[in-house]
Amino acid sequence: MVRQPLTAEQIAAGQRLGVALRAARAGRSLVEVALAAGISPETLRKIEAGRLPAPAFGTVVCLSQALDVPLSDLADVWLADMRVHQAS
């Protein structure tokens, strides 16, 4: 099975997610949060920088828990701009 390339909207959503995660991390170190979520610091760095725009669902769930951010809030960040385009 060949994975389809991400759309521009999906890439933008991943960038918004990265910004939201970085903001939620606030004063905590990247390493601390990554280890609490069970992922590598490099993976978190890539997500926050938007270089990994479509992280696995389980990764987002673990980051949600590690950062004490409701998963629904992260979903809203991901979907924010997409809802505007769908309504047009």
Q: Classify residue 37: in a domain, yes or no.
A: yes
Considering the entire predicted model, what is its pTM?
0.87
Task: Give the pLDDT band (50/70/90) at residue 87.
Answer: low
Helices (H), 1-88: 8-25, 30-37, 41-49, 57-67, 71-87
Q: Classify residue 2: in a domain, yes or no.
A: no
Domain count of the chain? 1
* pLDDT exceeds 60 at position 83: no
The highest-confidence range among 8-12, 65-69, 79-83, by mean pLDDT, is 65-69
Pairwise CA distance, residues 6 & 81, whole Å? 15
* pLDDT exceeds 70 at position 86: no
- For the stretch 9-67, pLDDT in tens is 999 999 999 999 999 999 999 999 999 999 999 999 999 999 999 999 999 999 999 99
Q: Which two tokens stand for residue 1?
A: 């099975």
The CATH number assigned to the domain holding 30 equals 1.10.260.40
Q: Classify residue 18: in a domain, yes or no.
A: yes
